[in-house]
Homo-oligomer: A and B are copies of this chain.
Amino acid sequence: MQKVNLQEKLNLFNEYWAPKIVGNINGSQVKLAKLKGEFVWHKHDNEDEMFFIIKGKLLIKFKDHNLSLQEGEFLIIPKGVEHMPVAEEEVHVMLIEPKTTLHTGDIKCDLTKNNQERI
């Protein structure tokens, strides 16, 4: 059992859109990611996904509206809801989602990371 310091872990990597696993809890995983630019439209058919903003501003586009999140805010995107994260400047996020979740959801593309690394 070890505590996790978010900043220390964030210092260990610089890739964008490549979530790193930092904890396991009840079948879910806690992940950290750095985001910049546009991701892809996708949804997770069976899992809710939590975005907690550590640094920066994240726009999340939905089919019928957009939501802007800033430091100290979180959003839980219910399963099945199509979304596309957009980070105009670099954003640091903590994600919580089931172990089985692929970050690009139902879409496989160049951005898809099949084997997420634990740090």
In the complex the two chains form, is A6's CB within 8 Å of B77's CB? no
By beta carbon, the residue of chain B nearest A24 is B76
In the complex this chain forms, how many copies of it are found? Answer: 2
A41 to chain B, nearest CB (A): 16
| A contact face: mostly helix, strand, loop, or mixed | strand
In the complex the two chains form, is A74's CB within 8 Å of B6's CB? yes
The docked-state distance in angstroms from the alpha carbon of A98 to that of B49 is 15
Number of interface residues of A (CB under 8 A): 31
By beta carbon, the residue of chain B nearest A5 is B73
Task: Name A residues whose Cβ lies closer than 8 Å to a Cβ of B.
Answer: 1-7, 23-26, 28, 30, 47-50, 54, 67, 69, 72-78, 81, 96-98
